[in-house]
Amino acid sequence: MSPTTRSDYLIIGGGSMGLAAADYLASRPDASRQPSVQVLDAHSPPHDQGAHHGETRLIRLAYGEGSGYVSLAMRALDRWQELERETGESLFLPTGVLNLGPAAAPFIQQVEASARQYDLPLERLGGEAASERWPGWALDASMRGAFEFRAGVLRVERILASWRQRVDRSANVTLTTGAQVTRLQPLAKGGFEATCADGRRFSADRLLVSAGQHLAPLLAALGIELPLTRVRKTFAWFEAGARYGPESFPGFSLTDEELGVYYGFPDIDGAGFKIGRHDSGQILAPGERMAAFGDYPDDIVELQRVIDRYLPGVGALRHGAVCQYIRTPDEHFLIDEPLPGLIVAGGFSGHGFKFASALGESLGEWLVSGHAAPGLAGFRLGRFSK
């Protein structure tokens, strides 16, 4: 049996949340000493085996998923811009984000309500006015737009690479790759031990588990049931003309009562116009292989229907890809401490990455202080037992 590697704090999962927390702990000022932090990842981030891969994500402040996210989004944007300054990398493109849907759509109503509550700048305009302003859209009077000019696009791969480089340079944080954790167990004297598939063992007094699809199975072995569902999702890039460039076309969210809920991006760096579907998807078991893009007929059809209806200048398919959402029943995050010293972060339901900079800060502080930030209270596990 291999000896156990001991550290002050252990992070299982080097995806967006785990790596963000590790980056925060690597740079956190501490007058007395820097705690030792061990990060374990089954692969080598950045990679495409979690829910964080891909070139781009939207960040919005006037938040359609609930006004409780707004303060977190504002802190996240501050942190993204701080990371830009520290690294000298372009990590955020202020393209603005246009939220579209029928005026009665709950998402549009919540975007407008959160803007009013927090006094956020938000431009409201009808569908025809939106089409005139952004000729890439073909919208009629039944649609309503809510444009947030402070919002935009995050460059995911650059962000993850920046975090990885900073962690690799750190004196107190160690990232161990190829470390697939298969078992967690509490220790008699306190703390937890993680055992990897190859027999390596790691322990710490306090632990953050942010292991995506593997979170629920790992916690189930400790008698903790997490209501998480893994869902296969698709997105694709298409040919597009100059009207879809980032200078003339914003990021967007689109709610169509017939076709579903979609999100998209302008053509950034010549990659093509990107669109994906937020709702729907195929349910998968943890570890189950995801079918490739195009294996389901609807993979292309559902995206093409939206393009045909609303986006007259978008052309042929370039290529598509698959990713996964780890969803909670209410599609809000799951962040809690179900056992003393054991923090879990998951169930980000396809809208978590934009908050990773702020959540990394909160999770890192939670590990060190033993106290959760008040703003995380709404994400606790207990809400599902009421």
Same structural domain, 235 and 374? no
Which one is catalytic: 52, 57, 75, 164? 57
In a domain, 73, yes or no: no
- Quick check: is 82 in a domain? no
Say whether pTM exceeds 0.85. yes
Calpha distance 166→158 (Å, rounded): 12
Domain CATH for 18? 3.50.50.60
Whether residue 383 lies in the annotated active site: no
Task: Among 327, 344, 376, identify where a domain stops.
Answer: 327
Instruction: Please indicate, yes or no, whether residues 220 and 249 belong to a single structural domain of this protein.
Output: no
The CA distance from 166 to 82, in Å, is 14
Beta bridge partners of 253: 99, 263
* 268 shares a domain with 131: yes
111, 136: one domain:
yes
Write out pLDDT tens, residues 246-276.
999 999 999 999 999 999 999 999 999 999 9
Q: Let me know if 47 is a catalytic residue.
A: no
Number of domains in the chain: 2
Residue 70 lies in a domain: no
pLDDT tens track for 325-356: 999 999 999 999 999 999 999 999 999 999 99
Q: Is 53 one of the annotated active-site residues of the chain?
A: yes
**CB neighbourhood size of 270 (10 A):** 6
Token pair 């509550």 in the structure block, residue: 117
Classify strands 143-148 and 123-126 as parallel, antiparallel or unpaired.
antiparallel
Q: Are residues 241 and 282 in the same domain?
A: yes
d(CA 276, CA 264): 6
Q: Is 386 a catalytic residue?
A: no
Per-residue pLDDT band for 55 (boundaries 50, 70, 90) equals: confident
Q: Specify if 265 maps to a domain.
A: yes
CATH number at residue 104: 3.30.9.10
Residue ending a domain, choose from 297, 327, 357: 327
Is it the case that residue 29 has pLDDT exceeding 80? no
Residue 5 has pLDDT above 70, yes or no: yes
Last residue of a domain, one of 293, 309, 327: 327
Choose, from 144, 200, 323, 328, the residue flagged as catalytic.
323
Structural domain including 264 reads: 97-149+229-327
Gap between the Cα atoms of 158 and 243, Å rounded: 26
- Residues 12, 132, single domain; the answer is no
Statement to judge: residues 359 and 211 lie in one domain: yes
pLDDT confidence of residue 31? 40
- To 10 degrees, what angle do helices 16-27 and 156-169 make? 40
Same domain, 264 and 318: yes
**Which of 52, 53, 60, 155 is flagged as catalytic?**
53
- 88 is a domain residue: no
Same domain, 34 and 10: yes
In a domain, 297, yes or no: yes
Q: Does some domain include residue 78?
A: no
Residues 323, 341 share a domain: no
Q: Tell me the C-alpha to C-alpha distance, in Å, between residue 347 and each of 165, 227, 318, 366.
A: 26, 8, 30, 18
CA 191-194-197 angle, to 5 degrees, is 170
93 in Cβ contact with 155 (< 8 Å): yes
Q: Which of 75, 155, 206, 274 is catalytic?
A: 274
Out of 75, 164, 166, 354, the active site residue is: 354
Cβ-contact 210, 18 below 8 angstroms? yes
Question: Do 255 and 339 sit in the same domain of this protein?
Answer: no
Q: Are residues 112 and 13 in the same domain?
A: no
Residue 274 a catalytic site member: yes
- Of 158, 243, 278, 327, the active-site residue reads 278
Residue 323 lies in a domain: yes
On the 0-12 / 13-18 / 19+ scale of CB atoms within 10 A, 143 is buried
What pLDDT does 52 receive? Answer: 57
Question: In this structure, what token pair is assigned to residue 11?
Answer: 């992070």
